[in-house]
Amino acid sequence: MGEDRALKFDILNELFNISVGQAASLLSEMINRTLMLNVPSVQIIDTQGNHADMNAFLPMDVDGTLMVSSICFENKLTGKANLIFPAEKMRRFINLCINEVIVDEINDSSFSDIDFDIIREIGNIVLWEV
């Protein structure tokens, strides 16, 4: 990676770090609890002319269903950002958002249309903070 590209990548990582902190603060206010978000792994993938193998960018220790929230952007940068969450953790967060009792046994695949709307909004909050 060239020095200029490495500097841009470092700046992008720092912007994500700051933005995720702001998003965690907003989401914490929504659920009236302290929420900790991990800074996402930033990968810049050139998908022009070929298909990127997304499996190469997923954590290897993920079990179960994953939820993806995506947003496309065009302005100074053009691209697509994906947030990938374990479904079980997303179910717990949705339950906090709607003040439902959290049960120990959570079925990863039981999401309603309202749940998917909440997931989209969570993605919007996190991704638009960036």
pLDDT, tens digit (0-9, with 9 covering 90-100), for 38-92: 776 777 776 665 566 666 666 666 677 888 888 887 877 677 777 888 888 888 8
- 23 within domain boundaries: yes
How many C-beta atoms lie closer than 10 Å to residue 122's C-beta?
22
Percentage of the chain exceeding pLDDT 90: 4
CB 110 within 8 A of CB 7: no
Number of structural domains (the chain) is: 1
Q: How far apart are CA 19 and CA 11, in angstroms?
A: 12
pLDDT of residue 126: 81
Q: How far apart are CA 17 and CA 51, in angstroms?
A: 28
- 16 within domain boundaries: yes
**Span between the terminal Cα atoms of the chain, in Å:** 23
Please provide the average confidence, as pLDDT, over all residues in the chain.
Answer: 78
- 103 within domain boundaries: yes
- 110 within domain boundaries: yes
The whole-model pTM stands at 0.69
- 40 within domain boundaries: yes
- 26 within domain boundaries: yes
- 55 within domain boundaries: no
CA dihedral 96→102→105→108, nearest 10 degrees, is -20
Domain that holds residue 108: 3-45+62-129
What phi, psi does 98 have (nearest 5°)? Answer: -105, 15
Give the domain CATH number at 76.
3.40.1550.10
Residue at 71: amino acid letter: I
- 7 within domain boundaries: yes
Cα 17–chain centre separation? 13
Q: How far apart are CA 86 and CA 61, in angstroms?
A: 11
